[in-house]
Amino acid sequence: MPRSWLSRRRRASSLSLSEERSSDTWTPLACERRSSKHCCLVAVHWPLAFALGWPRAGESREAKPISQNPSPPPKAWSPPRAPYPENIRMSDTSWGEKVKLIIWIFLDGLERFFTQNKLLKLLSLALAFLIWFTVSTQEQGDRLLQDVPLRVLHSPTTIITNVVPKAVNVRVRGPLAVVNDLDPEGIEVIVDVSELDPGNYVIGPEEVHHIPSTVEVRQIDPPYIPINLERKIVRDLPVSPQIVAGQLPSDRVIIGSTVEPSTVQLAGPESKVNRIEHLVTERIVIPENAASQHTFLVNVVPPGQHMTITPARVKVTVTIDEVVEKRLDHLTPKRPPRVRIPSGTSLSVTLRGPRTFLDKIGPDDIIVSVNVAGLSRGEHEVTPSIALPDEFRDWVQVIAIEPPSLTVRVR
């Protein structure tokens, strides 16, 4: 039915072609009958003509005249636009004619689709079929990817306190050529716990990144990862150096050290950080030929797992001094109650220690005393005792007392 109507329409167009040319008016129908090369233009122009009320065949509505002997239009020819009427009415064309026009346009376009550019369309169809056949017939295969990196995403305010595996095994399936070319180190399995509060969880990894879309993830081993989340805190703690003077000669001694900065920040799980009072550096071994002041750049030792230190390194300056001896003479012993010491009795004391401290010690800083507790009345030989100031006791030692004993009388 539609094809026979199209044939009658074309025959009627050819019969009335001479009448259209003599009408001296331009219409979309006339454009349609000029040449079959411009049917696409007519297919677009006819609905506009009906919808906007443009003049049709046999009507004269200020249409632009065309010449009696028109020349063949060029390839890029397009019909001039007819002026729009002031009052556009849809009632100029019946719905039956509009339906017939739409059917004619559809059938004409369908006919041109199968009759024009046949070679290009056949080549396109063949190429599409070749691509589909190549993709659909690729051999599928399975592969087990071992030691695929695992990354856990968590909030900056939390920290993972248990040991999480660094890698998992992933079984995939896809085109055999693509699957065999996969590199496990180039793939990454993601576990996201950034939205979870502190607590203990068992979560299965779901996201696998950097894997082709044609490859399907069949299984991840282990299927579940235990994760313990704890609140993260930061504290400022002092640092103490660990100094080993094993290689120093006997006549040199370490008398002090300074750490810069003196405090560092320790970040970690709240339950562990709150139990720590200070931090220590790694062991510092003093070389044999060290100068009087030697500086070391050393690391601060983390007190446990899942803890970070900022800054991780500190500067330790060690002060080394020469060990010397010093003799103090004319020291008078302190006389206790009920004890008589012969007049003119004096002692000499020999001290050993760092030069820096010995230079500060004088006879007035030494206290000589005798202990007569438990002695009966009469003369006795007692050993004097030497007392040093508190600031020197850790550094200075008494190596000799002359005379080693004193004669006292207890009353």
The tokens for 134 are 């190549």
Are 362 and 300 within one domain? no
Does pLDDT of 76 surpass 60?
A: no
In a domain, 50, yes or no: yes
Cα–Cα distance measured from residue 150 to residue 205, given in angstroms and rounded to the nearest whole number: 9
Q: Does a structural domain hold residue 8?
A: yes
Looking at the structure, do residues 257 and 208 belong to the same domain, yes or no? no
Judge contact between 164 and 152, C-beta under 8 A. yes
In this prediction, residues 40-62 reach a mean pLDDT of 45
CATH number of the domain encompassing residue 241: 2.170.120.40
399 vs 136, residue with greater confidence:
399
Query: What single-letter amino acid sits at 360?
Result: K
Is 165 in the same domain as 73? no
Same domain, 236 and 295: yes
DSSP labels, 248-298: S-TTEEEEEEEEESSEEEEEEEHHHHTT---EEEEEEEPPTT--SEEEEEE
State whether 184 and 242 are in the same domain.
Answer: no
The DSSP secondary-structure symbol of 195 reads T
Tell me, yes or no, whether 121 lies in a domain: no
Final residue before a domain boundary, out of 196, 223, 250 = 223
pLDDT score at 317: 92
Tokens 């050290």, residue located: 257
The count of domains in the chain is 4
Range with the largest mean pLDDT of 139-148, 168-177, 260-269, 284-293: 260-269
| Domain that residue 40 falls in | 2-115
- Does residue 120 lie in a domain region? no
| 171 beta partners | 144, 219
94-113, pLDDT tens digit by residue? 777 778 888 888 888 878 87
Q: What is the pLDDT of residues 167-224, one digit of tens each?
A: 999 999 988 888 888 999 999 999 999 888 999 999 888 788 888 888 889 999 999 9
Q: 147 and 195: one domain? A: yes
What tokens were used for 195?
Answer: 């939205």
Indicate whether 370 and 393 sit together in one domain: yes
Say yes or no: 294 and 399 in one domain: no
pLDDT of 12 over the 60 cut? no
Pairing type for strands 188-192 and 140-153 reads parallel
Beta bridge partners of 151: 190
Q: Say yes or no: 304 and 345 in one domain.
A: no
* Residue where one domain finishes, among candidates 54, 81, 115: 115
**Cβ–Cβ < 8 Å for 360, 394:** no
pLDDT of residue 91: 55
Residue 10 lies in a domain: yes
Is 13 found in the same domain as 87? yes
Measured CA to CA, the distance from residue 387 to residue 391 in angstroms comes to: 12
Residue 68 located in a structural domain? yes
Q: Could you say which of 172, 206, 223 is where a domain stops?
A: 223
**pLDDT, tens only, 276-297:** 999 999 998 888 777 788 889 9
**Is residue 311 domain-shared with residue 337, that is, in the same domain?**
no
Determine the pLDDT at residue 299.
Answer: 94
- pTM value? 0.52
On whether residue 269 sits in a domain, the answer given is yes
Q: Any idea what the CATH number is for the domain that residue 400 is in? A: 2.170.120.30
Are 318 and 358 members of one domain? no
Task: Write the DSSP symbol of residue 68.
Answer: S
Amino acid letter for position 302: P
Q: Is residue 82 part of a domain?
A: yes
